[in-house]
Structure 1
Amino acid sequence: MQPLLLLLLTCTNQVLGQNPAIKVILANKGLQYGSHVGTDWLHEKILSMNVPDVTGGVKVGVGTVRYVLDRMSVSQCDVPEPSVNFSEGNQVKTVINGLSIALRGNWHTKFSFMSDRGSFELAVFNLDLTSLVELGSDDKGHLSILSKTCSAGIGKAEINFHGGASWIFKPFVKFFKNRVKALIETQICPIVDEHIADVEQHLTNMQVSYRINCALVLEIPLINPPHINSSDLGLDLKGEFYNFESPKEPPFKALAFDLPRADGFMLSLGMSEFSFNSAAYAYYAAGQLHITVTDKMIPPTSPLRLNTSSFGPFIPQLPKFFPNMLMELEVYARETPMFSFLPDEMSLKVPGAIKAVAIQPNGTRAPLFKLNADGLFSGQVYISEGKLRGLMKLKNFTLTLESSEIGTFQTAALENGMKMAMTIAVLTPLNAKLKEGIPLPSIHDILLVNSVLKIQQGFVSIASDLEVSSPLRGHFEEGFVCPYKTSGAYL
């Protein structure tokens, strides 16, 4: 009955004792949209409803007329817009007034040695349905959903018989209507309860880890039980990334943050710095933030080549010790890169290092020097036309000489050259991509529409409306292909 609500809850589990890194608030507007989508599901279920045969007998003074109403099926159904409300005590109440159903079927009678048959049509009007479900969690921390109460009552019914001596049924029309009305009433709530039970089983079996790519896994179990008030539903999720091959806890904890409710939107979503930094740590701890740069990787149009001659203007003694030799640079993070969020601005601090070697004619790799390379990037991100867009810039970059096998040298000129190289090779294509925009992902066929992103103190918030393309279609599908071995560089 509440498919959007159930979709949002199908990826939750409970882990106590830590702050959530992801928070979700489903507003009453979102619940109403979910109930609107749910009318299609209820409509399909009622159309496919199995109505059992009605058999019995009616005494007519000189005997009993035996009858059978069989092959009954729903031919038409009109489901009005439900009224759905959050209720204190972690409950959600759904009320549908004025539901109508039309059925058709066959009738058969037998009296003594006489028999007859024909068809009939029945319409029930003003069917009122009330359902109350309760949200909680089981002893293993999975989210639970329980049908507390369900009631269905039909206001009136009309029945018409066709074929044979159907006039004989006229004295018993009221009797037949009441029998079929009672059957319909007893069928509606089991449909609702069956769906709730299916969702409960799905929640019990639901995985809470999602492969983001070949290296990362995102864990989003429920940290606290869901909390409901009269206006919204709140979910606190773990929101931590791990390396798929070697998961480790980062040496920092998620800090508490307050996600503001976005007026006029269906959903508010907040993701703290911790989520982003746990992803960076997952790469770093697994040794995957490194890359070996060779001259073949340098664009042909670049005036600076990766050889000792090109580096001569920056390090004069280098071509003297190792004349006209190719070089390789091992670039890696020496500490975990860290994101930080300030109002309307995000920054990324990257403590890096560069080790340089010369490739001698006999193939021997001669170590040259090691530099500490510390970069600070800043930028703005926003959502426009359903895409993530933004602009990043290099705020600060320093090179310091950590060690050298060729003697000391000044790094100022090399630092300026690398600033220019990073701007051309990294920031220019990145900003071009951000200007073009990155489409927002969908989760379980839930699309974010009319979204507004804001960078807050310590977290990013998204206020959004929702669009469900195919409710409860199926399971998470991985959209990537991983090589046999995933370890390696991810810079």
Structure 2
Amino acid sequence: MVTRLLLVLLLTLLFSTSSPAAGSPHISAVISQSGLDFAKDLLVPRAAETLAQLSVPDIERSVSIPIIGAVRTVASRIVLGGVAVADSTVAAGDTGVVVAASLSSVNLTMEWSYSYSSWLVEISDSGNASIQVEGMDVGVSMGLKNKNGSLKLFVMECGCYMKDLDITLNGGSSWFYQGFIDAFSNHIRSSVENAIANKIVEGASKLDLFLGGLPKEIYVDRVAAMNVTFINDPRFSSSSVEFDIDGLFIPSDKTAPQSDMHFGDTKLAPPLGSSSNMLWISLDEDVFNSVSALYFKAGLLQHMVDKVPDQFLLNTASWRFLIPRLYRKYPNKDMLLNISAISPPSVRINVGRIDTTVDLDVTVIVLGSDDKVPVACISLSVAVSGHASVSGNNLVGKVELNYFSFDLKWSDIGKLHTGIVQVIFASAFSVFLSPSGRGL
């Protein structure tokens, strides 16, 4: 029965009208069938728990009893007891997602009563009853839309189907039992089905409120926040749901704006993971470039290097024969390298890797007794590449230095020997790009 109900709801999705996409994403997140199954396995049991102790509205009818005539009967305090999920399925259609579940061990309790009065006699009786449901299928189809940068969830169809009811009445007069069952079984069935469907719609409304309350920006630090507004309606396929997110970094003291940016040829980083993963994430180059521009504008793309693997190179004594003038002016003094970006780093996405080019000024500083003296400045162009992957529950990456070129901008210590300078700079950048270092 789950399959039949799922088919009906899927047909509803297939013949619904879908809205065209409204823009291009900077971040694309795709929930695969595995992800949908995970969400279903998480939400369906919780939804079943909410059905426990569900109250059904009272039912009142006038039942015709042979010889006696019309008898007023009432089924009241109808309460759904324990519910167990036997099986569940989730599938995506063209405009939404369908979830269907088969419930087992469904039982209800209720109270019953009747009354009859005439000019000759007045009679009444009451008792309780237990109801065992032999099989119940529940299904709901839900759509998602983008509303002002947030997700709007709505129910398109919701249904509940009960197979057979086994009603056992207790107390009162047994002659009344069969008449009550004949008169009330279908009404109890429809009332319970409607109550369950309404409860599911109520749960979907709560989920909609949760989605609508998701933040539109994620605070990173005092400089940057990520704009996570949705910019298009979700796109549904037969086995996945795709979300488009703005994804650009913005100043953290500003509210995330609505993005109207359209890019014809966006380059997305290759998705992380394989087809068996629950979530795929693709990033546009502009995500990286937006954050680099923010940190550059804030003056944070700079770093003082005072430690390198070959620490002796950061002392003027190491340069006494190569740069005699440096040693004569500052004998046996420690040095620092002040590395600062002169423009925002440029990020390019290629197959299997991310390439970054950074233009830097490296100022050589000699540490005096009570001051710091800049003695030379070199202009560098540095190219690095990296890639990211998923390892277990962790996102891991690797960054490599590809090359760097440099020119001497100015010097108070004479000419520099380029080969030796390359050695110390390569050593410095190895530390600079290491996991424990503070990268740009």
Work out whether the TM-score is over 0.5: yes
Structure 1 unaligned spans of 5+? 3-13, 434-488
Q: Deviations over 1:332-369 (max 9, x none)?
A: 112222333333343332322222333444x3443322
**By how many angstroms is 1:283 displaced?**
1.6
Partner of 2:40: 35
2:414 to 407, 417, 427: 407
Count of residues in Structure 1 that have an aligned counterpart in Structure 2: 411
1:87 aligned to which of 93, 112, 116: 93
Structure 2 match to 1:197: 205
Equivalent runs, 1:402-481 vs 2, <5 Å: 402-423=409-430, 425-426=431-432, 429-430=434-435
**1:186 is matched with which residue?**
194
- 1:456 alignment partner in structure 2: none
Q: Quick one: distance in 1 between partners of 2:39 and 2:201?
A: 18
Assess if the C-alpha contact under 8 Å between 2:385 and 2:402 holds in 1. yes
DSSP-derived class of the 1:225 partner: coil
SS at match of 2:43: helix
One-letter amino acid matched to 1:290: Q
The answer to whether structure 1 residue 127 and structure 2 residue 153 are counterparts is no
Match status 1:336 vs 2:344: yes
Give the equivalent residue in structure 2 for 1:176.
Answer: 184
Rg comparison, structure with higher value: 2
Residue number among 391, 400, 413 corresponding to 1:384 in the alignment: 391
Q: Percent of aligned pairs with the same residue?
A: 22
Distance between the aligned counterparts of 2:23 and 2:225, measured in 1? Answer: 19
1:207 corresponds to: 215
Q: 1:390 to 1:144 in 2, by over 3 A?
A: closer
Tell me the distance in 1 between the aligned counterparts of 2:254 and 2:360: 22
Query: Conserved in 2, the CA contact under 8 Å of 1:401 and 1:411?
Result: no
- The two structures have a TM-score, normalised by structure 2, of 0.77
List alignment gaps of at least 5 residues for structure 2: 1-5, 7-18
Counterpart Cα distance in 2 of 1:382 and 1:43? 37
Q: How far 1:123 sits from its partner (Å)? A: 1.9
Is the Cα contact below 8 Å between 1:142 and 1:204 reproduced in 2?
yes
Deviation at 1:412, TM superposition (A): 2.5
1:288 corresponds in structure 2 to 300
Residue by residue over 1:214-272, the C-alpha shift from the partner in whole angstroms, topping out at 9 and shown as x without a partner, is 543222222322223444433222221234258999xx996424778965555433223
- The match for 1:154 among 158, 162, 185 is 162
Partner of 1:74: 80
CA drift of 1:102 comes to 0.8
2:266 aligns with 256
Measured against aligned partners, the alpha-carbon deviations of 1:408-434 in whole angstroms (never above 9, x if no partner) come to: 3333212212213433x345x53x99x
Output the CA distance in 1 between the equivalents of 2:42 and 2:398. Answer: 37
Task: Decide which of 297, 320, 324 is 1:316's aligned counterpart.
Answer: 324
1:261-310 Cα offsets, whole Å, 9 max, x none, are 9655554332233322322222222211112345xxx37x8542644444
**Distance change >3 Å, CA 92–CA 391, structure 1 → 2:** closer
Aligned partner of 2:132: which letter? A
C-alpha separation in 2, matches of 1:262 and 1:329: 43
The 10-residue stretch of structure 1 (177-186 or 260-269) with the greater mean CA deviation from structure 2 = 260-269
Q: Does 1:346 align with 2:354?
A: yes
Residue 219 of structure 1 is matched in structure 2 by 227
- C-alpha distance in 1 between matches for 2:29 and 2:336: 47
| Paired amino acid for 1:275 | V
- Find the residue that maps to 1:340 and give its secondary structure: strand
1:105 correspondence with 2:113: no
Deviations 1:117-166 (A, max 9, x none): 5432112334344433333233x343323222333333321111234555
Residues 37 and 378 of structure 1: CA distance in aligned 2, closer, same or farther (over 3 Å): same
Amino acid at match of 1:413: I
CA distance 1:46–1:215, shift in 2 (3 Å): same
- Equivalent pair of 2:109/2:130 in contact (CA under 8 Å): yes
TM-score, normalised via structure 1 length:
0.70
SS of the residue 2:303 aligns to = strand
Change (3 A) 1:195 1:311: farther
Q: Is the 8 A contact 1:290 1:490 kept in 2?
A: no
Distance 1:292 1:394, change over 3 A: closer
2:366 is aligned with 1:366: no
**Residues in 1 aligned to 2:321 and 2:184: alpha-carbon distance in whole angstroms:** 101
